[in-house]
């Protein structure tokens, strides 16, 4: 019945609304707290040590760190389905360094609760083996890419991620590193690609935040064009995601037309919100009492009309201005106070989502009788 597509994949908002108890959400919570000091994500990790341990799986190619000391630790959070959070770094990434050293040392403090993990980032390394590992790794699920001011943790949900999304994620992370780098030297990034490269692979010095980009065959290796190309790739990856989101965009080719479709879709949705708010405004003042138990309960899906109470607020409105009594959210039931009505409705104001079935069913049972009763009594 709904014309809008169900998109439950790879949307941070969706994650936030539906799963407040996910690990990712906790990270978000912490990230919002530690907003200013981005390096204190290490504190976050320290707190989440046990969970982080669970998430970070044992090393594949054991490159353990030692003595990296105070190398900058930055992580960028990766949401569950492979979408990167918006706190992207502006500055250079240390992913390359992470790839090389698999270090997991904090910036501020040297001791980390989780201990030392070996981190495989798919940013690519000079060794092909590493690349191969990273390729499979992204499917297995957890790695930490070290980056400036952001945390990357791929949760274990990544295991269920489709290959395509994994590729997108990889592409995005690749571009992430490239974008962050100011200077570029030729390195190995495009592991998964078939395009050959005839560039030299050089190592970047440790201290400055260099990003390694491999130029494809026959393309210019100018730093400007490299940056441009990386940026374009990132943009194209995101456009592809958007195309999946907006219905009917898959067949359209060309950036401008796709953008048109996206804009139209956003406008259409906003207009719908506008209409619905007008509708609600027209209806809103008169209906005071709702019983949302049954349709808001998450377990079985029930039709909307169940449990809807006829409002006695309408009766009250005829005599006086509707008085909105405060609503108690968590399952407290009390009779709805009415001054004018002789009948007392028993309204349940609780609409917390997890609801015990018996009370909701009981409530949905009784209010439906009320209108009939009232009718008869009138």
Instruction: Report 185-204 residues binding other proteins (CB under 8 A).
Output: none
Binding residues among 82-101 for other proteins as defined by CB under 8 A: 83-86, 88
In the complex, least distance from residue 299 CB atom to other proteins, rounded to whole angstroms: 8
Binding mask 283-302 for other proteins (x = CB under 8 A): xxxxx--x-x--xx-xx-x-
- For position 109 contacting other proteins by CB under 8 A, the verdict is no
Instruction: In angstroms, give the least distance from the CB of 161 to other proteins.
Output: 15
Residues 162-181 that bind other proteins (CB under 8 A): 179
Shortest distance, CB of residue 70 to other proteins, whole angstroms?
29
Name, in order, each residue with C-beta under 8 angstroms of 112's C-beta and a sequence gap of 6 or more: 42, 45, 46, 49, 104, 105, 106
Q: Binding other proteins by CB under 8 A: which of 2, 111, 198, 320?
A: 2
Give the residue from 175, 297, 155 showing the smallest Cα distance to 239. 175
Q: Report if residue 319 touches other proteins, rule: CB under 8 A.
A: no
- CB neighbours of 220 closer than 8 A, spacing ≥ 6? 226
Q: Does 17 help bind other proteins (rule: CB under 8 A)?
A: yes
Residue 281 burial (CB count, 10 A): 9
In the chain, which ranges are E strands?
144-147, 150-153, 184-186, 211-213
Q: How many residues bind other proteins (CB under 8 A)?
A: 91
Residue 279 is a binding residue for other proteins (CB under 8 A)? yes
Question: Looking at the DSSP assignment, which residues form a beta bridge with residue 75?
Answer: 146
Question: Which of 47, 205, 324, 356: binder of other proteins (CB under 8 A)?
Answer: 324
Q: Which of 50, 250, 352, 356 binds other proteins (CB under 8 A)?
A: 352
State the binding string over 22-41 for other proteins (x if CB under 8 A, else -): ---x--xx-xx---------
**3-class DSSP state of 370:** helix
Find the helix packing angle between 255-283 and 223-245, rounded to 10°.
Answer: 40
The region of 5-13, 116-124, 163-171, 192-200 touching other proteins under the rule CB under 8 A is 5-13
Q: Which residue shows structure tokens 């290959």? A: 163
To 5 degrees, how large is the angle CA 118–CA 171–CA 247? 130
CA distance 86 to 83: 9
Per CB under 8 A, 339 contacts other proteins: no
């Amino acid at each position: 019945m709904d014309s809008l597509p169900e998109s439950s994949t790879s949307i941070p908002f969706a994650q936030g609304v539906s799963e407040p108890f996910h690990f990712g959400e906790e990270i978000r919570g912490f990230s919002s707290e530690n907003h200013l000091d981005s390096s204190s994500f290490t504190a976050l990790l320290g707190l989440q040590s046990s969970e982080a341990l669970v998430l970070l799986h044992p090393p594949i190619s054991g490159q353990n760190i030692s003595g990296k000391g105070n190398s900058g630790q930055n992580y960028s959070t990766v949401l569950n389905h492979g979408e990167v959070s918006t706190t992207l770094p502006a500055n250079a990434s240390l992913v390359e360094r992470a790839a090389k050293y698999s270090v997991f040392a904090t910036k501020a403090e040297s001791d980390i609760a989780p201990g030392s993990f070996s981190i495989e980032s798919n940013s690519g390394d000079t060794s092909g083996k590493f690349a191969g590992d990273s390729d499979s790794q992204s499917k297995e699920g957890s790695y930490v890419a070290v980056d400036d001011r952001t945390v990357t943790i791929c949760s274990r949900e990544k295991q269920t991620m489709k290959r395509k999304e994994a590729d997108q994620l990889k592409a995005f992370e690749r571009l992430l590193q490239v974008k962050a780098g100011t200077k570029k030297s030729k390195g190995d990034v495009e592991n998964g690609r078939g395009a050959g490269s005839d560039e030299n692979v050089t190592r970047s010095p440790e201290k400055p935040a260099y990003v390694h980009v491999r130029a494809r065959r026959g393309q210019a290796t100018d730093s400007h064009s490299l940056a441009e190309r990386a940026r374009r790739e990132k943009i194209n990856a995101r456009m592809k995601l958007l195309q999946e989101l907006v219905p009917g965009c898959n067949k359209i080719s060309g950036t401008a037309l796709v953008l048109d479709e996206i804009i139209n879709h956003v406008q259409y949705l906003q207009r719908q919100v506008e209409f619905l708010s007008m509708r609600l405004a027209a209806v809103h003042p008169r209906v005071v009492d709702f019983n949302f138990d049954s349709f808001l309960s998450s377990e079985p899906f029930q039709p909307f009309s169940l449990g809807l109470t006829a409002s006695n607020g309408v009766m009250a409105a005829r005599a006086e201005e509707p008085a909105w009594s405060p609503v108690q959210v968590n399952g407290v039931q009390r009779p709805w106070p009415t001054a004018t009505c002789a009948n007392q409705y028993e309204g349940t104001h609780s609409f917390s989502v997890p609801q015990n079935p018996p009370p909701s069913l009981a409530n949905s049972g009784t209010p439906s009788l009320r209108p009939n009763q009232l009718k008869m009594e009138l």
